[in-house]
Amino acid sequence: MQLADHTALITGASGSIGQAIAQALAEAGARVAIHYHSGQAAAEQLRDSLPGEGHLLIKANLAQPHDISSMVDEAVEAWGRLDILVNNAAMYVEHAIDRVSYSEWQTAFERVVSVNLLGAANACYCAARQMMQQGGGRIINVGSRGAYRGEPRMTSYGASKAGLHALSQSLAQELAPHKIYVMAVAPGFVEGGMATEDLAGPRGEAIRAQSPLNRVARPEEVAHVVRFLAAPGAEWMTGAVLDLNGASYLR
């Protein structure tokens, strides 16, 4: 298997995309650390369903820098190394300018950016420091089509994902001399998770019609690309942001 003897930490692994990524990496032979914040039952069920042995559950609030460093330390203490970090955790809140107060606007940005961008940046720092010591590693950040297409009424989400793409590219240049390869993927709508309500509601048909395939992505399709980027042979992809949107938005 391509990732035999590799270790991987996946943030937000109790959600639909995170679960699919964990399954794909474990099937490739990796030992997986399943990060969760509040979804303990889903995280435990995922751990018990993964092939292989040595998988971990790690609880952490990604808005808290100390929790992030402890999360990475816990994985390293268990395995002695960390080969792959997947920053998948994310959140969003609606905050249309014509519907929220100034203080609500600020709160929305603080909450979303603290997890989607600052939390991911802090995880990158902690993982990269370990990877420098061990001679290399891989960081894969889950961004969004919204960073390019725009996220009206959820501008903090689009801004945080645009920042995550830029962070990935900057780190790819900074960390390359340490054999640490940094990439990002930018999905559009994906079945399950945050998209469930929209896809089931009156907007669902129009959302699916954004792609000429007339559907949205399956979590397994995002996981397939993450698995490819995590595996040996994808080093030359460092710095890339890969669009995963079924031709719903071309740039």
**Active-site residue, 125 included:** no
Which of 14, 12, 129 has its CA nearest to residue 73?
Answer: 129
- Sheet of 180-187, strands arranged across: 56-59, 31-36, 7-10, 84-87, 137-142, 180-187, 241-244
Tokens representing 232?
């040996």
Residue type present at position 74: E
Which member of 92, 148, 157, 181 is catalytic? 157
Helix segments in 117-247, DSSP class H:
120-134, 146-149, 155-175, 196-200, 204-208, 219-230
Q: In a 3-state reduction of DSSP, which class is residue 46?
A: helix
**Which residues are designated catalytic?**
157
